[in-house]
Amino acid sequence: MSAKPKDGQHGANVRFHQIGRRLPRTDAPGKVTGKTKYAGDYSMPRMLYAKVLRSPKASATLTRIDVSKARAMPGVACVLTAADLPHRVMPNDIPGQTGKDRLKTDNQILVKERVRYQGEPLALVAAESLSIAEQAIQLIEYELEPFPGVFDPFEALKPGAPIVQGEDNVVATHQVRKGDIRSGFQAADVIVENTYKTQFIEHAFLEPEAGLAWIDENDVVNIRMSTQVIEHFRFIADALGVPHNKVRIMGAMVGGGFGGKEDITIEVYLALLTKNTGRPVQMIYTREDSMFGHGKRHPFDIRLRTGLTNEGKITAVQAEITADAGAYVYLSPYVLLYSVTAIQGPYQVDNVHVDARAVATNNMYTSAFRGFGAAQACIAYEQQMDEAAKRLGIDSVELRRRNFLQTGDSIATGYKVDSAVWTEQCMDKAIKGLGDRPADEGPIKIGRGVACYQQSYGRITWLHDTSEAWVGIEVDGTVVVRSGVTDIGAGQTSALAQIAAELLGVHLDDVKVYHSDSAVTPLAGTTTATRALYMTGNAVKQAGEAVRDRLVRRAAHALSVDEEIIVLSDHRAYDVNDPDNGIELADLVALCASEGIHRSELVIFKAPFTDPIDRDTGQGRVHPDYVYGAHAIEVSVDTETGEVTILKSVAAHDVGQAINPQAVEGQIEGGTAQGHGYALTEDLIYKDGILVTPSFSEYLIPTSMDVPMQVDSIILESRSGRGPFGAKGIGEPSLTPVAPAIANAVADAIGSRILDFPITPEKVVRALHHIA
Amino acid sequence: MYPNFELVVPTTLSDALAELSGDTNTVTPMAGGTNLMIDMRAGLTSPEKIVSLSSVADFGQIAHRDGRVEIGGRTTISDILYANDMRVLAPSLHESAKVFAGQMVRNTATVAGNVCSGSPAADTVPPLLTLDAVLTLSSTSGEREVPLSDFYTGYKQDVRKSDELISKIHWKELPDNTANSFYKLGLRKGDAITIVGVAVLLTINGGVCQKARIAFNSVAPVVKRAIGAEAILAGQTLSVELIDKAAQHAVSESSPIDDLRASATYRRHCTGVLVRRLLNQAWQAIAK
Amino acid sequence: MTVQLNINGEESELAVWPNETLLAALRRYGYVEVKSGCEKGDCGACAVLVDGAAIDSCITLAGTMTGRTVTTVAGLSAPEELHPIHQAYIECGASQCGYCTPGFVIATQSLLDEISNPNDEDIRVGLSGNLCRCTGYVKIFDAVKQSAATLNQD
């Protein structure tokens, strides 16, 4: 048993006390008993209730808005339109830590003149009751003149198309020029070309956006908020025209995010209304508000051309990627970048040529969603592998095996991966986990598919990402962690507690994590980009180690032994060779306290800092590191009705080091269900920019009757990641391979491929030529 | 966002009927309310007075005697699902209960309410049609019986007067050698709006079809029986070819539309597939 | 109108509007453990027990609750105790963001009340009105089975 937990590459004989154990999470009891409060569960005396008036049209000019009747209604405290906010904008760029200039992508908070998407806010109302606010909304009079709109990115690129953003609707471009694409294709014996199309997806977190804002006696605007990012306080301050240190965001436990609570949603509305009225203001979105209230997953059109030799070696990958950015830029440039970085797949390819653009339309704006462009890329490249295998007459698993990227190989942007790349092991284990293949029965055909992936963890390296954490131990031996991290349900805070418990020799229950307060908890950065464990876990680990080192030094002195043989475990510090020679942790801490030995530490952890990649070649480093894995699926397809049932689902991911395997499984199982919906049942349908699937009756996420009873989660631990104890991440990786694996399984079952998502029963029937 | 209305919660059927016999333009009964509440919130309807049936005594009984099965005006979908007898007394209705919305809606929604909703997608109706269900309509003036197959007169139109309530639904016990089933096709397996729903009933003796019932929802403006298809089977010796013919005819008796969820072409195709499949399965089940 | 009912073991009198939902009334009276996810019966987050059966409080009128017994997720057990269903959800890791959990716990109780030893199909059917976006349902299935096992022991 090692005295000190080791991290890094060598981990075969590491023994942990807390890390790696399936402990019930710290946040579980509050959630299952209903004690945990979410942002909409708080109220204050004299609180006002706020509602948003939204444009029913997708593309229009607001020629008139008259709020006089609404303002005059008894019980209405405040009505705001753009006229009341003359120079204010809503920042929608990526929040950064370094204070560097953001892209100039800000949009109007309330419509001044031009409506660019259905649901764009026209006015805000705050009133004494929700009912009065709703009635006041009805009293606002306005006129919208139709304005020519465009609803398809390819249409938006045509000369003469209505302009939604910029000069030509192109809001972002990226390109990759790796190697020599011409010679790459010349070396190919076959060229496989397909265009894969994906759809708008809704996050469908169960908790609609909610918050409560108030202005206190120090003129601080406080916002209790359901958000993935408390760092938005800076943007909110800018939008209000107040100093940054006078806006405080207190994140509540978040009822689901998935990227949909990554941008600013209602914070600015709450801040404006509370500043204007001087009273607390609560805003809770209905589900319908939520459909219009945050950016969706980008639909992608990926034209992929792959050159391979007859032996199955990929010689060239060429991609034309077009993403629908919707009405405003938001995080489109970054989503596009991720897709470009990922499009080579977890394969070794010397020649890669990518042209990618994000195009504005009058559809709902699109932004962050778990996978962030790399998921869409995987849908293309993993289906392409199966198509290539079919074309070459090589088994699709074998084809992958002949091409896997290895440690030291370069990805599409030329960056050489230096952590473990265990894709092949993951693939083999996932497929093996499917077991024996059942026989077809009548019209019911069985199909199997696998998908492998590369998904980044950690944010773009030229954002100079950092995360701070404070760890301290109290004189009674209990532990405090202070971190700005937002907990969006994956166990972000519990993982930090588990790390602190490991390092300081206590149990999970002995650690209290105070989190998500932009004024008093050290800022951890966003809970996005599969970065929370990597960044904040490392910060907590380093802070915990600093405290631990001081405790161990003092204990060694007290016990007259060397530091290297001191173990902190079970509330004691003791000699690993002579456990009876020890001191109670509380006594040790009290000793340290009385001697002025620092019982806490504040750490800033820094991700690798780079400069942006080359604009022309797309070469350079984009991310700190990558996760690799695979997912295998078995389906049955009723070839008469087209219904697809998932029979078996096996995931295998190298997460580096699982902090809590049960939590890792939870992410895998949840990602599997989201991938299921992505491939088969979910579709946000806009007809000329009008949403025709505005509720959970039309937008169908999988139910308990749709998913298989179990998902096998095979967790591999290479301990080669940059996170604490060699961890990588699982938040986004757990979703990325699922939809393409399902698509591959369906194609296997029916013998042909449906190239546009979702794969509905009707599309299956059409692909089988049962109907015209 | 709900309209303002007066709410009364009578505790006896006669009180409820009395409340409904007032100004009938603006009074509406509410059984489970699972449709009405959603319609009101969406602004599709604004009653001025709602008569809740949730507390009406003795209104939800299931009874089975003298060869007759009877359910009450407040019998819920869950009552059907959890009543073990129903697997035998009304197999297709029991199957529709399993795929009807989710548990909470099933605990609240009533069979009578589903019948009255007039929705072309109402899932209890094809099963009830195959059972030759009869509705008892009650008002302050008394009771009358209306076979379910005569109840609908058009899209969201039926013969229930606005002062009437469905107080009972009954059907005869199924004879021996009868199979009765329902299949719901939706875009997902749980809690989905039906794209094509088919219920069939066959009674077969000595290979000859004594009775055939075929009913479908979501493929016409009203839930209906495919009477022409039934006639092809009735009195005939069953065969795969005859079932094919009946299935094809059933398709011609449907009139689905294109909508958000599916095209008319796909719905017609699946109507044929499901009618054929369910009939074949029913035939095999009896043959065993 | 006023409604007299029992909420979590306490006789209560609520002043409600005729058009007020049970969800809105309960939250207004401080029972914020009852969550709103869709307001139209699609998601089950708002589920509470009424006379032992789970219903969607978002599509139930508060005014129809006279004489009823309403139980929220917090009322399944005494305040400082854990009901076996609470315990099972904790141990099985069946709650991630937790927002859907109150509704699932209620639906679980109601299901087990009807079917004390549910099979896989019973569980899937019983929970089909509760949407979860985080867990993929797998550990929720485990929690239901564990709850059934524990409750059947008693």
Provide the ipTM. Answer: 0.98
Q: Between chains, do B103 and C125 touch, taking CB under 8 Å as contact?
A: yes
Mean pLDDT of chain C: 97
Q: What is the mean pLDDT of residues A235-248?
A: 95
Domain boundary among the residues B126, B155, B172 is at B172
pLDDT of residue A88: 82
Q: What is the mean pLDDT of residues C147-152?
A: 97
Residue A73 has pLDDT above 80, yes or no: yes
CB neighbour list of residue B126: distance below 8 Å, 6 or more residues apart: B92, B96, B182, B197, B198, B199, B215, B216, B217, B223
Is residue B113 a part of any domain in this protein? yes
Query: How many percent of chain A have pLDDT more than 90?
Result: 94
Is residue B251 a part of any domain in this protein? yes
Interface test with C, best of B40, B50, B78, B103 (most C CBs within 10 A): B103
Q: Between chains, do A25 and C139 touch, taking CB under 8 Å as contact?
A: no
Q: Between chains, do B265 and A772 touch, taking CB under 8 Å as contact?
A: yes
Residues B152 and B188 both lie in one domain: no
Looking at A91-105, A380-394, A719-733, which range is the least confident one? Answer: A91-105
Chain B residues with beta carbon closer than 8 angstroms to that of A642: 266
Mean pLDDT of chain A: 95
Residue of chain A minimizing CA distance to B266:
A762
Distance from CA of C129 to the nearest CA of B (A): 3
CB pairs below 8 Å between A and B: how many?
52
Residue A99 has pLDDT above 60, yes or no: no
Query: How many percent of chain C have pLDDT more than 70?
Result: 100
DSSP, residue by residue, B172-203: EPPPSSEEEEEEEE-SSSSS---SEEEEEEEE
pLDDT of residue B23: 67
Rounded to whole angstroms, how far apart are CA atoms C98 and C33? 11
Residue of chain B minimizing CA distance to C49:
B104
Q: Which two tokens stand for residue B88?
A: 């035998």
pLDDT of residue A633: 98
Chains that touch A (3 or more CB pairs under 8 A): B, C
Q: Taking an 8 Å Cβ-Cβ cutoff, which residues of chain A contact chain B?
A: 134, 640-643, 645, 680-681, 685, 692-693, 697-698, 700, 702-706, 760-762, 765-766, 770-772
Using CA atoms of A615, A620, A623, A625 in order, give the dihedral in degrees to the nearest 10. Answer: 160
A691-713 pLDDT, tens digit each: 999 999 999 999 999 999 999 99
Chain A residues with beta carbon closer than 8 angstroms to that of B274: 641
Q: Which of B4, B6, B101 sits opposite C129 (nearest CB)?
A: B101
Q: Which residues form the domain of B130?
A: 62-172
Which structural domains are found in chain A, ordered by start?
11-33+466-606 (3.30.365.10)
What confidence category does residue A96 fall into, taking pLDDT thresholds of 50, 70 and 90?
low
Contact (Cβ atoms closer than 8 angstroms) between residue B75 and residue C74: no
Rounded to whole angstroms, how far apart are CA atoms A204 and A257? 9
For residue C111, the SS3 value is helix
A562-587 pLDDT, tens digit each: 999 999 999 999 999 999 999 999 99
Chain B residues with beta carbon closer than 8 angstroms to that of A770: 269
Residues B43 and B106 both lie in one domain: no
pLDDT of residue A100: 56
**Domain containing residue B79: CATH number:** 3.30.465.10
Rounded to whole angstroms, how far apart are CA atoms B229 and B242? 10
Chain C residues with beta carbon closer than 8 angstroms to that of B4: 18-19
Distance from CA of B269 to the nearest CA of C (A): 27
Chain B residues with beta carbon closer than 8 angstroms to that of A704: 190
Residues B168 and B183 both lie in one domain: no
Q: Which two tokens stand for residue A10?
A: 């060598």
A505-560 pLDDT, tens digit each: 999 999 999 999 999 999 999 999 999 999 999 999 999 999 999 999 999 999 99
Residue A18 has pLDDT above 90, yes or no: yes
How many CB atoms are closer than 10 A to CB A100? 9
Q: What is the mean pLDDT of residues C111-140?
A: 98
Q: Between chains, do A31 and C101 touch, taking CB under 8 Å as contact?
A: yes
CB neighbour list of residue A274: distance below 8 Å, 6 or more residues apart: A213, A214, A215, A221, A280, A281
How many CB atoms are closer than 10 A to CB A155? 14
Residue where the block lists tokens 């890390």: A19
Contact (Cβ atoms closer than 8 angstroms) between residue A361 and residue A332: no
- B2 CB within 8 Å of a chain C CB: yes
Rounded to whole angstroms, how far apart are CA atoms C53 and C33? 18
Is residue B1 a part of any domain in this protein? no
Is residue B235 a part of any domain in this protein? yes
Q: Between chains, do A700 and B262 touch, taking CB under 8 Å as contact?
A: no
Q: Between chains, do A762 and B274 touch, taking CB under 8 Å as contact?
A: no
pLDDT of residue A769: 87
Using CA atoms of C10, C11, C16, C22 in order, give the dihedral in degrees to the nearest 10. Answer: 50
For residue B113, the SS3 value is helix
**Domain containing residue B202: CATH number:** 3.30.390.50
Chain B residues with beta carbon closer than 8 angstroms to that of A444: none
Find the radius of gyration of the CA atoms of chain B. 19
Chains that touch B (3 or more CB pairs under 8 A): A, C
Give A715's strand partners: A653
Look at chain B and report how many structural domains it folds into. Answer: 3
Domain boundary among the residues B144, B172, B200 is at B172
Q: Between chains, do A705 and B190 touch, taking CB under 8 Å as contact?
A: yes
Exposed/middle/buried for residue B195 (C-beta within 10 Å: 0-12, 13-18, 19+)? buried
Residue A103 has pLDDT above 80, yes or no: no
A595-654 pLDDT, tens digit each: 999 999 999 999 999 999 999 999 999 999 999 999 999 999 999 999 999 999 999 999
Say which amino acid occupies C118.
P
- C129 CB within 8 Å of a chain B CB: yes
Is residue B198 a part of any domain in this protein? yes
Residues B106 and B27 both lie in one domain: no
pLDDT of residue A92: 77
- Per-window interface: C 1-60 vs B, CB < 8 A: 1, 18-21, 39-42, 44, 47, 53-56, 59-60
pLDDT of residue A2: 35
Residues B148 and B237 both lie in one domain: no
pLDDT of residue B130: 98
Q: Between chains, do A641 and B187 touch, taking CB under 8 Å as contact?
A: no
Domain boundary among the residues B142, B172, B202 is at B172
> DSSP secondary-structure letter at A168?
T
Q: Between chains, do B5 and C125 touch, taking CB under 8 Å as contact?
A: no
Is residue B208 a part of any domain in this protein? yes
Which structural domains are found in chain C, ordered by start?
2-73 (3.10.20.30), 84-153 (1.10.150.120)
Q: How far is CA B140 from CA A71, B21, B158, B162, in A?
A: 49, 7, 19, 12
Residue of chain C minimizing CA distance to B82:
C114
Is residue B209 a part of any domain in this protein? yes
What confidence category does residue A4 fall into, taking pLDDT thresholds of 50, 70 and 90?
very low
Residues B134 and B224 both lie in one domain: no
Q: Between chains, do A34 and C72 touch, taking CB under 8 Å as contact?
A: yes
Residue A7 has pLDDT above 60, yes or no: no
Q: With a cut of 50, list the residues of chain B below it in pLDDT.
A: none
Residue of chain B minimizing CA distance to C17:
B4
Chain B residues with beta carbon closer than 8 angstroms to that of A125: none
Element (H, E) at C11: strand C10-15
Residue A49 has pLDDT above 70, yes or no: yes
Contact (Cβ atoms closer than 8 angstroms) between residue A568 and residue A576: no
Interface test with A, best of C34, C130, C134, C141 (most A CBs within 10 A): C134
For residue A223, the SS3 value is strand
Is residue B57 a part of any domain in this protein? no
Q: Which two tokens stand for residue C3?
A: 């409604």
Of B207, B208, B283, B285, give the one whose Cα is nearest residue B247: B283
Rounded to whole angstroms, how far apart are CA atoms A358 and A336? 7
Using CA atoms of A560, A564, A566, A570 in order, give the dihedral in degrees to the nearest 10. Answer: 170
Residues B166 and B92 both lie in one domain: yes
Interface test with C, best of B79, B107, B108 (most C CBs within 10 A): B107
Chains that touch C (3 or more CB pairs under 8 A): A, B
Q: Between chains, do C32 and A37 touch, taking CB under 8 Å as contact?
A: yes
- C142 CB within 8 Å of a chain B CB: no
Interface test with B, best of A705, A707, A768 (most B CBs within 10 A): A705
pLDDT of residue B196: 98
Contact (Cβ atoms closer than 8 angstroms) between residue A567 and residue A578: no
Q: Between chains, do B2 and C21 touch, taking CB under 8 Å as contact?
A: yes
Residue A197 has pLDDT above 90, yes or no: yes
Residues B249 and B185 both lie in one domain: yes
**Domain containing residue B47: CATH number:** 3.30.43.10
Using CA atoms of B278, B279, B283, B285 in order, give the dihedral in degrees to the nearest 10. Answer: 10
Of B120, B115, B96, B116, give the one whose Cα is nearest residue B106: B96
Chain B residues with beta carbon closer than 8 angstroms to that of A641: 185, 270, 273-274
Residues B156 and B253 both lie in one domain: no
Residue of chain B minimizing CA distance to C130:
B102
pLDDT of residue A86: 78
- B3 CB within 8 Å of a chain C CB: yes
